[in-house]
A and B are shown apart, each in its own frame.
Chain A
Amino acid sequence: MDWDQFDLNPKTIAALKKADIKSVKEILNLSGADLQRLMKLSSADIQCLLKTVSHTLRRNSMLTALQLYQDKDHFTSQHQKLSLGCSVLDSLLKGGIPLVGITELAGESSAGKTQIGLQLCLCVQYPYKYGGLESGAVYICTEDVFPSKRLQQLIDQQHKLRAGVPAEIIRKIRFGNNIFVEQAADLDTFQQCITRRLSLLLARGMVRLVVIDSMAALFRCEFGPAESALKARYLQTFGAQLHSLSTQFRTPIMCINQVTDAVSESEAAQCSCRVVGSRVTPALGITWSNQLLMRLMVSRVSVPGHPPGAAPHCAGSMRTLSVVFAPHLPPSFCYYTVQLEGVKGIK
């Protein structure tokens, strides 16, 4: 660290070099008294040093809520969201997935989580005007093989799903080219994937969506109840790394998660799940829930009849997508079906 570029007293700079302090983080980690002893300076000098390095670190960092509200720039605005490709689902989420933060999609098997994940990988490639981010996606598989046949089906049917988008625009996008598939079956590979490959792709601007399918699979086999502290540490580290990538590159991270049975009433209550009569909670516990910005749950509805007002020609069973918690959305849900062209909500 080049201390000469800081606006400090030469005596302080000399003391910093002599005490072999190499970074701002080291200075802030030491208490005032420790700094005085280490650098042999008076408390007034130390206060001045702390203020100066804090200023340098936090230059120009203040915004008012009004500036946030009025910011309409594509890259920085909070109003910009990633659309799901269906107007009903988008209106449930008030626009779509937020660009910064980890969104979780939890549900039983074959409820449609992978379908929604694939659909998002295609939606992100559309122009900003149609709810996309004009960029590619990374799909990290941790257990199953990537469903490439289904992806091809979806690509072929995009014009049917996105009827509002002009056909030439859809024709121009090379969907398959912009989806990067990674396989990571264990924790170390996953760690490598996040820290090296993901940051590289994000830094080059080639992707602006990360789908992880699924988080729970990484932890299911390897951790018994005695190793819960180690599991918690892994979860917190992954959460923090994903969070910082998401913030740095303004990229939504969609984590698909499995569910486990809620053994007691209190457990179900803890995760604030009041989904349509089910007693399941998302896997990985409260440690993982603390890392999330938003949690969505999907489930199959085994009702033989149709919800009121639904179109009578829906093939396949009804499913529900519900918002469990989000800072900007009330707990709510909507119905959807999985069709050949993709996931479509039902009013």
Chain B
Amino acid sequence: MQREVGTLPLAPALRARLAAAGFQTAQELLDTGPCGLSKEIGISKEEALEALQVVRQECHGDAARTAGGSGATRKCTALELLEEEQTQGFIITFCSALDNILGGGVQLTKITEICGAPGVGKTQLCMQLAVDVQIPECFGGVAGEAVFIDTEGSFMVDRVVDIAAACVQHCHLIAEAQQEEEHGKALETFSLENILSHIYYFRCHDYTELLAQVYLLPEFLSQHSKVRLVVIDGIAFPFRHDFEDLSLRTRLLNGLAQQLIIIANDHKSAVVLTNQMTTRIGQSQSTLVPALGESWGHAATVRLIFHWDNGQRLATLYKSPSQKESTIAYHITSHGFRDVQPPAVTHSREGTELNPRKRPRTEEEKQ
């Protein structure tokens, strides 16, 4: 009831008039009533009535929220955040070197950006992640679904089929080695058709369609609450031509980044974006830098740069809040995104390797 007039969701012109007339809290507005209000600030009675209805609804909503405990602003301690982060799942990439430098895999609730020259493997990693997000929990996955927004037309479903088939095969091998009941049950629903039917594909032809699609995403994600990954491949393509006014582009990209951060947080999903590289001409030489400008560099939480060195593909973790900068080598095989050499795997530890969330038994006993 003591809500300030400036925070109410009314039209800005109306708010300005109320402030000029001296109204400060919502309670004052409600006390005045519609006739008094319309006389004091010079609006029609219908408008005054509408405004008061909005105010009443807001205050009602506020009261319900404070009674319920969780409001628009949530307070929690850093310890609670730490515990939440440690139980957070990761989406594995099947390249253990890459998973290691990322701290377990692609993190949920964060935006990860992948930059690289054409042909280096950005779309391949996106397709791999769209399959890996669906791995059942007993195999170390997050058992989610994926949204794939394609702006370049590089989503070739035959390739996704190869990747998905290899992933199912991998899980079958683990199940055979470990012979646990939950593995068998999970494998019943983890089939090629199932995986394909849970990748939701959107094709956007220009930046207007992309903006519209991102406006509709929160509603889509509420309806499909199992989605844990949103991929936009690529974010640079629709924004790099057709812009006379670069400040408009910066503003649109910033707005897009903010919406994606809210989506990642509210729906506990990972957002993965792919970006192009462009040449920056320096004093004596030119270097490749990620496209879309300096201010776009702030949008993503984690930034990976893929590049070539003498025929070997390398991935560099360029920006991360919790992991240090490092470079690893990776391969793209017919099965998808993989390590350069298969990691040495012993039967007894296979379970823990694929499941970074399960802390080893000894630590718990100590506590």
Chain A residues within CB distance 8 Å of chain B: 24-25, 28-29, 31, 36-37, 40-44, 50-51, 53-55, 57-58, 61-66, 68-69, 78-79, 94, 98, 100-101, 228, 233, 236-237, 239-240, 243-244, 247, 265, 269-272, 274, 285-287, 289-290, 292-293, 295, 324-325, 327-328, 330
Contact = CB atoms under 8 A, between A and B. Distances in A.
Contact of A272 (B120, B124, B161, B236): B120
Interface string B245-259: 000100110010000
Contact size range, B: 35 or more
Nearest to A324: B119
A70 to B, nearest CB: 9
B242 interface: yes
Contacts of A58: 202, 209, 212-213, 216
Contact of A69 (B10, B157, B206, B219): B157
A32 B310 CA distance: 48
A239 B233 CA distance: 17
A159 to B, nearest CB: 32
Interface stretch (B102-110, B277-285, B341-349, B352-360): B277-285
Nearest to B162: A328
Contacts of B195: 65
Given A247-B205, A286-B118, A269 B12 contact: no
B216 A51 contact: yes
A18 B276 CA distance: 41
Contacts of A61: 202-203, 213
A78 B212 contact: no
Given A78-B158, A94-B158, A101-B153, A62 B196 contact: no
Nearest to A233: B241
A64 B198 contact: yes
Contacts of A79: 158
Given A25-B208, A58-B216, A100-B153, A328 B310 contact: no
Nearest to B147: A62
B212 A62 contact: no
Interface string B285-300: 0001000000000000
A66 B158 contact: no
B211 A28 contact: yes
Among A41, A57, A295, the one with the most B-chain Cβ atoms within 10 Å of its Cβ is: A57
11 contacts: A42-B9, A51-B215, A61-B202, A63-B203, A65-B148, A69-B161, A270-B288, A272-B117, A272-B118, A272-B119, A327-B123
